[in-house]
Amino acid sequence: MNRLIHIDKITDIPQEYLNTPIGLLLEYHNLNRAFENYSEAQLLVGMCMDNRKHLHIPDNFAYIIRSGGANLRYSEFKVSFAVSVGGVKHIALIAHNHCGMVNLMSKKNQFIEKLSENGGWTIEQAEEHFNNYAPMFEINNEIDFTLSETLRLRQRYPKVQIAPLYYKVEDNLLYLIKES
């Protein structure tokens, strides 16, 4: 994937993120930087709800919002809370490969069947639920969606530094997404 910047050493971190909470996130997670103690969150992490991802970060370092596809459109009040009351000035938006929100429509039959079977819904209720909500949460691909969500959030919060990141499930590492 030539759209990703591999972070293997500190010098791989772009200058704009060095000595920021985003740079520290990359150092903690990818480079095993020794943990420091934090009493307040330094950044907000927006990431997918997928269970295969776990960040290697110190306690109290970040607010974390997990939402399918790292889609923060419907969590904007929580973002605003972290920025205002929490005082964060940095957001790391983290997509990952093999995201279930990509091509969500292909999972329609499974969704309906299993929601009925596991959740006790009728087939009709499950189908209506899927039809009402799937279009809000489906993403075309992880990288393009993350870049567009990064741009949207930058316009909404112009004083907040926002970085688009990518988590590879196979190696459990974070990558920066190239923006140009």
Residues 45 and 123 in one domain: no
Residues 40 and 114 in one domain: no
Q: Is the pLDDT confidence value at 1 over 80? A: no
What is the 8-class DSSP label of residue 105? G
Q: How many distinct helices (H) and strands (E) make up the chain?
A: 5, 6
Percent of the chain with pLDDT over 90: 88
Rounded to whole angstroms, the Cα distance separating 165 from 147 reads: 9
Domain membership of residue 127 as a residue range: 103-138
Residues 79 and 9 in one domain: yes
Using alpha carbons only, what angle is made at residue 99 by residues 93 and 103, rounded to the nearest 5 degrees?
120
Residues 144 and 87 in one domain: yes
| Domains of the chain: total | 2
Residues 42 and 122 in one domain: no
Residues 88 and 146 in one domain: yes
C-alpha distances in Å from residue 105, one per residue of 72, 74, 158: 20, 20, 34
Residues 39 and 8 in one domain: yes
Question: What is the pLDDT, as a whole number, of residue 113?
Answer: 97
Confidence of residue 172 (pLDDT cuts 50, 70, 90): very high
Rounded to whole angstroms, the Cα distance separating 139 from 116 reads: 24
Residues 55 and 108 in one domain: no
Q: Using CA of residue 106, residue 98, residue 101, residue 154, what is the dihedral sign?
A: negative
pLDDT tens readout for residues 23-78 = 999 999 999 999 999 999 999 999 999 998 899 999 999 999 999 999 999 999 99
Residues 125 and 149 in one domain: no
Residues 91 and 12 in one domain: yes
- Tell me what the pLDDT averaged over the chain comes to: 95
* pTM exceeds 0.75 for this model: yes
Residues 117 and 145 in one domain: no
Confidence of residue 94 (pLDDT cuts 50, 70, 90): very high
The CATH number that applies at residue 42 is 3.40.1050.10
Residues 118 and 134 in one domain: yes
β-bridge mates for residue 92, sequence order: 45, 163
| Helix, strand, coil % in the chain, rounded to nearest 5 | 45, 20, 35
